[in-house]
Amino acid sequence: MAFECQRDTKLGLRDSKVNCLGGTRTGNVDADQLILTNKKKFEPLETENPDSVCVANFKLGICFCEPLPNSSRSFADLPPALISEILNFLDPRELGIVSCVNTSLYRLASEHHVWKEFYYERWGHPVNSVSLGPGYPNEKSWKELFVEREFRSKTFMGRYSIDTLYGHTEAVRTVFVLVSKKLVFTSGYDQVVRMWDIEEGLSIASSRPLGCTIRAVAADSRLLVAGGTDGFIHGWKVEDGNPHLFGLRASQNQNMEFRVWGHEGPITCLALDFSKIYSGSWDMTIRTWDRSSLKCLKVLVHNDWVWSLVPHDNTIGSTAGSGVYIWETNTGNQLAFNSSAHVGNAYSLARSHTGKFLFTGGEDGSVHMFEITRNIKCYMRKIATWIPHNGSVYSIAFEFPWLVSASSDGKISLIDVRELLKTKKHSSSGNTSQSNYLDQKNVEPPQRMLHGFGCNLFSIGIGSDRIVCGGEEGVVRIWNFSQAGD
């Protein structure tokens, strides 16, 4: 098929003609001459005049044609704004290649704002500082932050050391990694919440016994919460001036610690966002709480025991029984439901920073990846399955690009989802099917297995270069990959 470019012809989106601005000749271009293939297609046009260059966007119906003095002009001579628009449609690898062409393209590609988007969609807000402008030469640019984080993610295939943390007297049921503060919080059957330094592998503080088994903890830089089998949420507020944020022992200020009730069964999962606390329970409900008033705002009723939940923006993903749910946070409406995600219970849940991908682990030893699409309706589509374990998958965690899982078989699997995301990038465009069909030929096995640590690993967390896990042995283990690149 040829696209026809004529000077004074208006483009109809369904025909092949474009309106050329400033062009003097007619030219044709084949479809396979595209330099970019994305939502907007900027395509070079072969003209009859060797001394002019045309670049067209066939979707918008625009063609720019400019003369080439002495036939020496190139892509780099296009207006910077147009080049910037074109660069928007490159992935990180392609943008890096463009930056190697010449000095001017290096500057345009390296300083392009899309590096910030690349970073946020993978890892969210960075812990490190970013460039504030030319007056701050010591700050890192978005490209530097991206490259550094991308390089660090490769360390999980390298060598590691293990720190074993002792302190709990019974099985560890829950692990939470607060990456921004380099802290780990753990608890379990001994009813005590413990705080650890993730880099030093040292105990920082521990709470008094809270009166029952603690199956869930969650934290951010302002609040720490623990959920008990007696149905309460116990919380600690941040203490100004405390380098470790929370005073787990009895605080001198009674207002820094609280306990709220509402569930009629054991609390199995907790999560926080900027304004709310989320709790899930074997009473088959998720409750959303206002962080300031500690009042219950919504109750989301499930069909079975709730095992896991993950909030994102205005939605909540959850698992109950063998099913996976998506809820609208403010209204409490159920947006999507897969009743049989696993054979047996769907114990664990994780979500990407964009919220587009949902991961589940279950009693059948499998790990599934779902793509969430929202148009008029919300749909969940299974796009990948791994079966890395011979026992139940009790816990999973995701930090791009690594999905890690902990199982009753005493093993940890590491799955790199990068290649899968590339192959699936455009497969669901416009597809609103909820089909669970899966082409196993396109799914790679786990990239790595860590094992030899007994049985029943109950909870797992992941940071930029460390994996933390707790289980039946009553110890906390930290796999340290920070020296893998040396």
First to last CA, the chain: 52
What CA–CA distance (Å, rounded) separates 114 from 36? 16
Q: Are the C-beta atoms of 399 and 464 separated by less than 8 Å? A: yes
What CA–CA distance (Å, rounded) separates 457 from 28? 63
Cα-only R_g, the chain: 26
Residue 245 clears pLDDT 90, i.e. is over it: yes
Q: Which residue stretches of 371-486 are H helix?
A: 418-423
Helix, strand, or coil (residue 440): helix
Tens digits of residue pLDDT in 4-47: 333 343 333 333 333 344 444 344 444 333 333 344 444 554 54
Side chain identity at residue 72, one-letter code: S
Helix, strand, or coil (residue 288): strand
What CA–CA distance (Å, rounded) separates 414 from 423? 19
Cα distances (angstroms) measured from residue 306 to each of 80, 286, 323, 457, 469: 53, 7, 10, 19, 22
- Count helices and strands (H / E) in the chain: 6, 34
Tens digits of residue pLDDT in 154-188: 888 899 999 999 999 999 999 999 999 999 999 99
Side chain identity at residue 18, one-letter code: V
For residue 3, what are the contacts with CB-CB under 8 A and spacing of at least 6? Answer: 16, 17, 18, 28, 29, 31, 43, 45, 56, 58
Per the structure block, which two tokens stand in for 205? Answer: 């503080």
pLDDT of amino acid 485: 65
Q: Are the C-beta atoms of 367 and 344 separated by less than 8 Å? A: no
- Specify the long-range contacts of residues 246-252, CB closer than 8 Å, at least 24 apart: 246/195, 246/205, 246/219, 247/205, 248/193, 248/194, 248/195, 248/205, 248/206, 248/207, 249/205, 249/206, 249/207, 249/208, 250/208
Per the structure block, which two tokens stand in for 260? Answer: 């709220």
115 pLDDT band, cuts 50/70/90, is confident
Strand order across the 202-206 sheet: 172-178, 183-188, 194-197, 202-206
For the CA atoms of 194, 162, 347, 232, what is the dihedral angle to 10 degrees? 0
- Give the number of other CB atoms < 10 A from CB of residue 26: 16
pLDDT of amino acid 54: 55
Task: Specify the pairing of strand 183-188 against strand 172-178.
Answer: antiparallel
Tens digits of residue pLDDT in 365-415: 999 999 999 888 899 999 999 999 999 999 999 998 899 999 999 999 999
Residue 3 clears pLDDT 80, i.e. is over it: no
pLDDT of amino acid 143: 79
Average pLDDT value over all residues in the chain: 81
Q: In 3D, which of 277, 289, 236, 280 has the Cα closest to residue 259?
A: 236
Domains of the chain: 2-73 (no CATH), 115-153 (no CATH), 159-480 (2.130.10.10)
Residue 209 DSSP label: P
Query: In whole angstroms, what separates CA 166 from the centre of its chain?
Result: 31
For the CA atoms of 319, 325, 330, 332, what is the dihedral angle to 10 degrees? -100
- Average pLDDT (436-450) is 63
Strand order across the 476-480 sheet: 161-165, 476-480, 466-471, 457-462
Residue 60 DSSP label: T
Residue 102 clears pLDDT 90, i.e. is over it: no
What CA–CA distance (Å, rounded) separates 128 from 142? 10
pLDDT of amino acid 137: 46
pLDDT of amino acid 474: 96
Query: In whole angstroms, what separates CA 149 from the centre of its chain?
Result: 14
The better pLDDT of the pair 19, 207 is held by 207
Per the structure block, which two tokens stand in for 217? Answer: 């903890």
Residue 344 clears pLDDT 50, i.e. is over it: yes
For the CA atoms of 117, 438, 395, 345, what is the dihedral angle to 10 degrees? 140
Q: In 3D, which of 376, 305, 309, 313 has the Cα closest to residue 345?
A: 305
What CA–CA distance (Å, rounded) separates 221 from 245? 7
- Average pLDDT (108-128) is 73
Per the structure block, which two tokens stand in for 323? Answer: 């099913």
Query: In whole angstroms, what separates CA 72 from the centre of its chain?
Result: 45
The better pLDDT of the pair 188, 429 is held by 188
For residue 261, what are the contacts with CB-CB under 8 A and spacing of at least 6? Answer: 231, 232, 233
Burial profile 34-70: b = 16 or more Cβ within 10 angstroms, e = fewer: eebeeeebbbebebeeeebbbbbbbeebbbbbbeeee
